[in-house]
Amino acid sequence: MAEIEPHIFVILGATGDLTARKLLPSLNALIARNALGPKSLILGVGMETEFNDASFRDKCRQDLAAANIPQEQIAQTASDKRLFYQTTGKGTPEDYEKLGQRIEQLEKDNGMPGNRVFYLALPPKVFPLAIAALGGAGLNKSNGWVRLVIEKPFGRDLKSAQELNKVVHQSFEEKQVYRIDHYLGKETVQNLLVFRFANALFEPQWNRDRIESVEITVAESLGVEHRAGYYEGAGALRDMIQNHLTQLATLTAMEVPEAFRADAIRREKVKVLHSVLPIRREDVVLGQYAAGKIDGKDVPAYRDEPGVAKDSQTETFVALRLEIENWRWHGVPFFLRTGKRLASRSSEIVVTFRRPPVWIFKPFDVETIQPNSLVITIQPDEGFDLYFEIKAPGQGVRIQQSDLRFRYSELFPRLPEAYETLLLDVLQGDATLFVSDDWVEASWRLYTPLLENKPKVVPYAAGSWGPPEADALLSDLGRTWTKT
């Protein structure tokens, strides 16, 4: 691991939920294993004027304790030598100039070279204001490096994404920008590149000649919870498909990059999106969860959740079919599926291979041979399963399926959290797992027509695997979705 240079990690929105649940615990983990070096400071920034350095540290100690962080680690992270607070008040130019002055003073007091990260842990609607304010105060430049981290969602459609990119590029160069998608920080997702390109066993099979279909599922058993205010205006298509699942699809489908380098990898991912045919309405199923049972307990319908309109047409489930029209994937459908209140929580990629072309076992009354499949589990139990056919012991020919299994937890004592990995990448200047401006726009270009002309939303029972209409997307393959 490359040594991390001294820096100030500036969190805009430091008093919010994302900072408490994800950023602070991840920064704490990096500090605990000495990954950040002795000279790294954290500056929390918020509109609240009632906080100062001391009271902000108290809040952070409480947040870290709530995340079950050991007290000795909390003391190290929330110390008066590392953690500070600065208000931006009403967000005026003068407020941001004061922020710049505070940063410069901290750098001077600690002999730092001017390396800065600005993390926007803010509501998406204020991204443009915050980015413009940073640029207006000259915080987009320094004697060291400056990096801007932007949370998803990056836009609501193609037009808004293009407008936000324009705002970003007015103040920051693209090489300074890190659009974060926490799914890409998961070890199994990162290992996709190694799995494909470091193993001669698999890459030669990774094409239309050997593969019949690819399924990508991100399933949640939870409902909308406390996010109704956001979710009602977003829905599963914006919240999950456009970013998380499409990222997984492009990583699965990309060509071999010219080098294991961020720009080369990102370029190949964009090429995949440019090869996807326009999505037909008949290849999309939208659903909304009705009442049902999860883990034996009754749960309400989406429309009965707090903050949800009684006549809401917001989709909580999406299943769709993508066709990638290039030499590698012509004729191989990619199926994307996500939903809330499904039967279990799981994220996986299922690569189904074609059946053998010669049926030599027919004289033995053997039932149809199951296709080989590779199941890449992203969560909750990260790993890989390769399914294949074997002969069961005994006389005669009886074929059954078995698997080769790998689990990270059996080999490695601890996997870093996704945010932990991605924050470290930001500090090392490695943009491989972050979203580029052209990828964002290409993805929105693909899904915006669908957002403007959505299919009808159909109900499904909470605790199921979604509406039965979704299985029809795979009907030409003679099977249904893989159940996990």
Terminal Cα-to-Cα distance of the chain (whole angstroms): 36
Q: How many CB atoms lie within 10 A of CB 199?
A: 10
7-151: what fold?
Answer: Rossmann fold (3.40.50)
d(CA 152, CA 440): 10
Question: Where are the extended beta strands (E) located within 110-248?
Answer: 116-120, 146-150, 177-179, 211-219
Instruction: Give kind and range of the element (H or E) at residue 246.
Output: helix 246-253
> What does the block give as tokens for 230?
């956001």
Helix, strand and coil in the chain, % to nearest 5 = 40, 25, 40
The residue from 169, 244, 274, 330 that is catalytic is: 244
Q: What does the pLDDT profile of the chain (484 residues) look like in tens digits?
A: 567 899 999 999 999 989 999 999 999 989 988 888 778 999 999 998 888 999 999 999 999 999 888 888 888 888 888 999 999 988 899 999 999 999 999 999 999 999 999 999 998 889 999 999 999 999 999 999 999 999 888 899 999 999 999 999 999 999 999 998 887 777 777 788 888 888 888 889 999 999 999 999 999 999 988 888 888 989 999 999 999 999 999 999 999 999 888 899 999 999 999 999 999 999 999 999 999 999 889 999 999 999 999 999 999 999 999 999 999 999 999 999 999 999 999 999 999 999 888 777 777 666 677 889 999 998 888 889 999 988 888 767 778 888 999 998 888 877 778 888 899 999 999 888 899 999 999 999 999 999 999 999 999 999 999 999 999 999 988 888 987 5
Q: Assign residue 37 a region: left if phi > 0, alpha if psi is -120 to 50, beta otherwise?
A: left
244 catalytic residue (yes or no)? yes
For 184-413+441-477, CATH number out of 3.30.360.10, 3.90.1170.30, 3.40.50.300, 3.40.50.2300 equals 3.30.360.10
- Which residues share a beta bridge with 339? 219, 317
Per-residue model confidence as pLDDT tens digits over 268-325: 999 999 999 999 999 999 999 999 999 889 999 999 999 999 999 999 999 999 999 9
- Quick one: 482 exposed, middle or buried, by C-beta within 10 A (0-12, 13-18, 19+)? middle
Q: Whole-model pTM?
A: 0.91
Instruction: Give kind and range of the element (H or E) at residue 104.
Output: helix 93-109
How far, in Å, are 178, 324, 457 from residue 437 at the CA level?
10, 21, 31
What residue ranges do the domains of the chain occupy?
7-151, 184-413+441-477
d(CA 178, CA 36): 18
How far, in Å, are 38, 268, 338, 407 from residue 432 at the CA level?
26, 12, 25, 24
pLDDT confidence of residue 177 = 96
